[in-house]
Amino acid sequence: MEKFLSFDDITKSLENRETDCKAIVNYYLQNIQTKAHLNAFVEVYKDSALAQAAKVDEKIASGKAGRLAGMVVGIKDVLVYKDHESNASSKILKGFKSQFTATAVQRLIDEDAIIIGRLNCDEFGMGSSNENSAHGKVLNAADETRVPGGSSGGSAVAVQANLCTVSLGTDTGGSVRQPAAFTGLVGIKPTYSRVSRWGLIAYASSFDTIGVLSRNVRDNALVMEIMAGTDNFDSTASKKPVPHYSELLHFGKRAKIAFITETIESEALQPEIKANTLAVLKKLKEEGHQVEEVHFPLLKYTLPTYYILTTAEASSNLSRFDGVKYGHRSPNAHNLESMYKLTRSEGFGDEVKRRIMLGTFVLSASYYDAYFTKAQKVRRLIKEYTEEVLNKFDYIIMPTTPSTAFKFGEHRNDPVAMYLEDLFTVQASVSGVPALSLPNGTDSKGLPIGIQIMANSFKEAELYAFGNYLMELNSN
């Protein structure tokens, strides 16, 4: 029988002394073993998780437990954890152990969360299907012939298959929200700068965020409020105070909601997703909320803007993997140049190489203004437009993805078709605003559909409250 489906469940069981942390960890370890073929976990920290569980049990007994006592968390393989290996699912970081812990992870540990292992993902977070991983593909538990989405595919399946209570993912252009949609979970991309990036192996620094995947809104909100906030190690992290999202979930107002015609009417949109999205909008209207259509003529520029800027940053961020200091160094190298070339050719996968080359190209002297400078300008336009809409409306609603989970290999020969998976998620990434993906029924094949809500920067509390309300509304 499935147990521990929410942190609330766990807390109650602990309070009633029906279970203890050790038993909870063992339960998940058992599940991980049974579902090993899903390939969600890259490494399971069995011993350290059990040791941590014993410690937390003692703290519970002495009444000194933190707010996350009993929560078992999996972390994406791009978040570093002291004395543990981190590979970013890349061969180039094979064997690399970090000497420090990511701030986001440390804050969860400080509240007595138990880290049970690291989770498979697309290499350096680059991908939308988790097929670009040195650790192999991850299977969607809803249909094992299909992808779980990406790049946080392992993080999604780990929660979907109940291998941990919640998981941490990272979202640069949709990498938490899209897999959340493909696996029927709640996934958030917070406002850019809301969570410290210290310890997040960078893909595109001005887009990267750390998000949470969970089964319900409350767990998600709780983890986010503990991770978020200013950090001495990240000068770009916001200093704004963090509200207690999990205590602000009551939603009792009439909301002003916008939906973007260009997304609903997109040719790429699967009809069942369109129908489900429209049904939600109709329900909201019936509940007395103001729902209005807005136009976003820049939608077609969001993906190119995103890919120019993120690949530019990635080409630079990934320069440090050169075989000199850590990670893979080609044994076939015979001089400096061949060390660089062979190490990087052997260490990086195809998609990462594609993006490094793209990024190097758009930053090169002859093309810089035509691509990078222009994309920066368009980014500002998209951000201004998005904020303008969100000044008039409380929320923007749109589908999370154009389609439900696709088959393995479906986009193998067409990287652009793969990039289209991010069509609806990149707007929030380019603008920096927070966005939440919620489960919104299934298609005719029984595959989960996601719906996405965006709010203005630092309005996570409002986003969670509305998300919680929408989940309740949908379950009625």
Q: Which residues of the chain form contacts with other proteins (CB under 8 A)?
A: 79-80, 86, 88, 93, 96, 98-100, 102, 197-202, 204-206, 232-236, 312-313, 315-316, 318-322, 324-326, 336, 340, 360, 363-365, 368, 372
CA-CA distances (angstroms) from residue 194 to 221, 291, 415? Answer: 13, 28, 31
Q: How many CB atoms lie within 10 A of CB 145?
A: 10
Antiparallel, parallel or unpaired: β 448-454 and 395-399: antiparallel
Cβ proximity to other proteins: between 230 and 261 the closer is 230
Least distance (Å) from other proteins to the CB of residue 253? Answer: 34
Cβ proximity to other proteins: between 310 and 404 the closer is 310
Least distance (Å) from other proteins to the CB of residue 369? Answer: 12
Least distance (Å) from other proteins to the CB of residue 236? Answer: 5
Q: How far apart are alpha carbons 455 and 387 in whole angstroms?
A: 9
Least distance (Å) from other proteins to the CB of residue 202? Answer: 7
Active site residue 330: no
Q: Which residue has the tokens 């069509």?
A: 423
Structure tokens at 157: 């399946």
Active site residue 151: yes
Q: How many CB atoms lie within 10 A of CB 236?
A: 11
The single residue of 35, 76, 137, 189 carrying the catalytic annotation is 76
CA-CA distances (angstroms) from residue 96 to 82, 86, 102, 327? Answer: 11, 6, 15, 5
Cβ proximity to other proteins: between 188 and 362 the closer is 362
CA-CA distances (angstroms) from residue 153 to 175, 265, 393, 409? Answer: 8, 28, 32, 15
Cβ proximity to other proteins: between 145 and 364 the closer is 364
Structure tokens at 74: 């999996």
The single residue of 129, 133, 155, 175 carrying the catalytic annotation is 175
Q: How far apart are alpha carbons 454 and 450 in whole angstroms?
A: 13
Alpha helix segments (H runs only) across 393-451? 415-419, 426-431
Least distance (Å) from other proteins to the CB of residue 168? Answer: 13
Looking at beta carbons, which pairs linking 237-243 to residues 24 or more positions away fall under 8 Å? Answer: 237/193, 237/194, 237/195, 237/196, 237/197, 237/198, 238/191, 238/193, 238/194, 238/458, 240/458, 242/194, 243/460, 243/461
Least distance (Å) from other proteins to the CB of residue 67? Answer: 25
The single residue of 98, 128, 151, 437 carrying the catalytic annotation is 151
Segment holding 380, helix H or strand E: helix 374-392
Structure tokens at 62: 């002495």
Least distance (Å) from other proteins to the CB of residue 197? Answer: 6
Q: Which residues contact 202 (CB under 8 A, 6 or more apart)?
A: 208, 313, 317
Cβ proximity to other proteins: between 62 and 99 the closer is 99
Antiparallel, parallel or unpaired: β 41-44 and 72-76: unpaired
Active site residue 175: yes
Cβ proximity to other proteins: between 68 and 105 the closer is 105
Cβ proximity to other proteins: between 218 and 329 the closer is 329
Task: Using alpha carbons, select from 382, 418, 386, 389 the residue that is nearest to residue 402.
Answer: 418
Structure tokens at 76: 């994406």
Q: How far apart are alpha carbons 87 and 72 in whole angstroms?
A: 21
Least distance (Å) from other proteins to the CB of residue 163? Answer: 24
Cβ proximity to other proteins: between 251 and 361 the closer is 361
So which residues are the catalytic ones? 76, 151, 175
